[in-house]
Amino acid sequence: MNDLSAAELSDFLRAKAQQYATQSFISDDPIQIPHAFEATADIEISGLIAATLSWGNRKTIIAKSKELMDRMDQSPADFIANASPEDLQALNGFKHRTFTDEDIKGLVVALQVLYRDYPNLGAFFMQHLNESATNLGPAFHAFKSYLLANGLPARGGKHFGDPYTGSACKRMVMYSRWMVRPNTEGIDFGLWKEISPALLSIPLDVHSGRVGRSLGLLTRKQNDWKAVCELDDSIRKILPQDPAQLDYALFGLGVYEGWT
Task: Please state, as a whole number, how many other Cβ atoms lie within 10 Å of the Cβ of residue 176.
Answer: 29
The answer to whether residue 224 is domain-embedded is: yes
CA–CA gap between residue 6 and residue 234 (Å, rounded):
10
Domain holding 84, by residue range, is 6-256
For residue 14, with 0-12 CB atoms within 10 Å meaning exposed, 13-18 middle and 19 or more buried, which class applies? middle
pLDDT of 130: 92
pLDDT tens-digit readout, 149-190: 999 999 999 999 999 999 999 999 999 999 999 999 999 999
pLDDT tens string, the chain, 260 residues long: the values are: 567 899 999 999 999 999 999 988 999 899 999 999 999 999 999 999 999 999 989 999 999 999 999 999 999 999 999 999 999 999 999 999 999 999 999 999 999 999 999 999 999 999 999 999 999 999 999 999 999 999 999 999 999 999 999 999 999 999 999 999 999 999 999 999 999 999 999 999 999 999 999 999 999 999 999 999 999 999 999 999 999 999 999 999 998 897 86
CA–CA gap between residue 20 and residue 2 (Å, rounded):
21
pLDDT of 258: 79
* Cβ–Cβ under 8 Å, residues 184 and 213: no
Residue 45, helix vs strand vs coil: helix
The answer to whether residue 1 is domain-embedded is: no
How many independent structural domains does the chain possess?
Answer: 1
The answer to whether residue 63 is domain-embedded is: yes
pLDDT of 2: 64
pLDDT of 1: 57
From the CA atom positions of the chain, what is the Rg in Å?
18
